[in-house]
Amino acid sequence: MQISKTNFITFLDCAKNAWLKIHRPDIYNKYPLSSFEQNIIDTGNKIDEMARGLFPNGKTVESRTDTELTKKLMTEHSPVIYQPVFATEKFLMASDIFVWNETTSLYDFYEVKSSTSSEENGGRKTEDYLIDIAFQKALLDDLSVKIGTMNLIRLNKEYIRSGDIDIHKLFLIENLTDTVNEKLGEVRNSMEVANEYLSRETEPLGHCDCIFKGWNSHCTTSQYSNADLPEYPVHAIARVNKKKLIELVDSNILSIQDVPEDFELSENQRRQVDTAQSNKEYVDRKGIREFLDTMKYPLAFLDYETYPSAIPQHNRYRPYQQTPFQFSLHVIKSDGSELDHYDFLYTEKGCPDESFAEALKKHLPETGSVVVWNQKFEKGINDQIGDRLPQYKGFMASVNERVVDLMLPFSGKTTVYDHHKFQGSASIKYVLPALVPELSHKDMHIQEGGTASDTWNRIINDEYSEQEKAMKIDALKKYCHLDTLAMVEIWRVLNSSIS
């Protein structure tokens, strides 16, 4: 059996998950990729193709098993090779780009990644890719294939599009030769461990590695390998560190209901555990009242949907900068007044910024509170629109001055309302069904933001028939409408809790 680079990386994250992927694809594929996850894969493929423009006119090894063509191209010193394939008895890989260096008479190696060079807003540390590249270097060493420099190509977070894409500014190239070589011994050891583990014919017994990880870090097949976990496990304790989680699991404490009273937790974690164990709500009426007093009529409940294009589609945009394409707005003008609703959805070609800002200015009340869920996001979008459209900068700044974050009463140190069904999360997807069970995303065609974003991108790229497009537009409007209606109803619950 040959272990691919992808399966090796999966093994390092969760060994049993990698074993199931190889030996039990029926289990692994039982949990299909979400639209968000599929979009990540599609984005990676698109960036791989675009990065080839840095070294044009290369020859491609089309088959992921064609080591003979790779050898032929390298023997001929083909100037540029895309997707060269290498294999040993134990491992195999397809690299991204090999470029012949006339000065050293060696091929320089380039690994392409779709992340940005900045760690902010989804970027990743350079160190995250050293194992990936070291795996390839180790395999090449085993084949006595000498290479020159080892380089990482990523998107430049500082690049701002102006006119046609300049790929030489869009991408950054980082020489990691020395740091990869320092990592090589450690990675070689891990490769041997992976080979021994993944070559087993019988399924590894017991839990997978995720038994010692927080809830949001569990692998694809965690539900299978950790089937004995209760509906509300200790893994859902907010921001629980690995040391505490190991202590609980090693003591066979898997349910949050069984966490001892004297187990050391932060104040927020203890409140979450106590709320779960009592099966009651935690309501700080004084705190709720103080929060609600910060809100002034008319109340404008506002939610945005955005698309983070890796390759900037419009001028004045950076890689992965969110493109706002939709909003929903519910307005309560005064105490006891009717609920008004407005919405906007851009489905044309071109940049939606100006139409978005114009519609928002038209429908948003000039005074009163602008109520959002997670103010960092909406305020950030407003700032960016103001930067791109100077004529709206003052308006966007005035909107941000009026923002009130409805998530705060349910979040971290500012929590004044907790419920066991929140399971330690301040996401509206947890808060809404607990407080307003008659409203739910579960039966909707679009149920979460990743799908909404992907759907919009497919609409504007004409990937649907006219009938499908109309259905998708309607689904987007209903999804965003529910998010602002949800905020209204959650606000009403807060009000009723202090009456």
**6: which residues sit within 8 A by CB, 6+ positions away?**
none
- Of 263, 292, 297, 317, the C-alpha closest to 365 is 297
Longest dimension (CA), the chain: 81
The yes-or-no answer to whether 33-198 and 288-497 have a common fold is no
Q: Residue 36: its pLDDT value, please?
A: 72
Q: Residue 84: its pLDDT value, please?
A: 98
3-state SS, residue 472: helix
Q: Residue 460: its pLDDT value, please?
A: 95
Contact 331, 342 (CB under 8 A): yes
* Rounded-to-integer distance, Cα 368 and Cα 448, Å: 29
CATH of 288-497, one of 1.20.144, 2.30.30, 1.10.10, 3.30.420: 3.30.420
Q: Residue 113: its pLDDT value, please?
A: 95
Identify residue 149 by its one-letter amino acid code.
T
- Of 112, 420, 97, 89, the C-alpha closest to 276 is 420
Contact 303, 324 (CB under 8 A): no
Four-residue CA torsion sign, 284, 288, 289, 290: positive
Residue 350, CA distances (Å) to 63, 315, 344, 346, 380 in order? 37, 10, 16, 9, 22
* Rounded-to-integer distance, Cα 140 and Cα 128, Å: 20
* Rounded-to-integer distance, Cα 423 and Cα 256, Å: 10
DSSP classification of residue 220 = T
Tens of pLDDT along the chain (499 residues)?
Answer: 899 999 999 999 999 999 999 999 999 998 777 777 778 888 889 999 999 999 999 999 999 899 999 999 999 999 999 999 999 999 999 999 999 999 999 999 999 999 987 555 555 678 889 999 999 999 999 999 999 999 999 999 999 999 999 999 999 999 999 999 999 999 999 999 999 999 999 999 999 999 999 998 999 999 999 999 999 999 999 999 999 999 999 999 999 999 999 999 999 999 999 999 999 899 999 999 999 999 999 999 999 999 999 999 999 999 999 999 999 999 999 999 999 999 999 999 999 999 999 999 999 999 999 999 999 999 999 999 999 999 999 999 999 999 999 999 999 889 999 999 999 899 998 999 999 999 988 888 888 898 999 999 999 999 999 999 999 999 999 999 999 999 999 999 999 999 8
What the block records as the tokens of 131 is 């194992």
DSSP per-residue codes, 86-133: EE-SSEEEE-SEEEEETTTTEEEEEEEEEEESSSGGG---GGGGHHHH
- Of 385, 388, 456, the C-alpha closest to 162 is 388
- Of 401, 215, 399, 230, the C-alpha closest to 304 is 399
Residue 164, CA distances (Å) to 114, 151, 173, 191 in order? 20, 26, 20, 43
Residue 139, CA distances (Å) to 6, 92, 113, 142, 191 in order? 14, 8, 20, 5, 10
Residue 233, CA distances (Å) to 167, 259, 345, 419, 432 in order? 47, 10, 40, 15, 21
| β-pair partners for 418 | 282
3-state SS, residue 402: coil
* Rounded-to-integer distance, Cα 382 and Cα 302, Å: 12
Torsions phi, psi of 295, nearest 5? -100, 135
In this structure, the number of other CB atoms found within 10 A of the CB of residue 33 comes to 12
Q: Where are the domains of the chain?
A: 33-198, 209-277, 288-497
What the block records as the tokens of 157 is 């977070």
Buried b (16+ CB within 10 A) or exposed e, 142-166: eeebebbbbbbbbbbbebebeeeee
* Rounded-to-integer distance, Cα 293 and Cα 343, Å: 27
Q: Residue 40: its pLDDT value, please?
A: 82
Give percent helix, percent strand, percent coil of the chain, each to the nearest 5: 50, 15, 35
Q: Which CATH architecture best describes the domain 33-198?
A: Alpha-Beta Complex (3.90)
pTM: 0.90
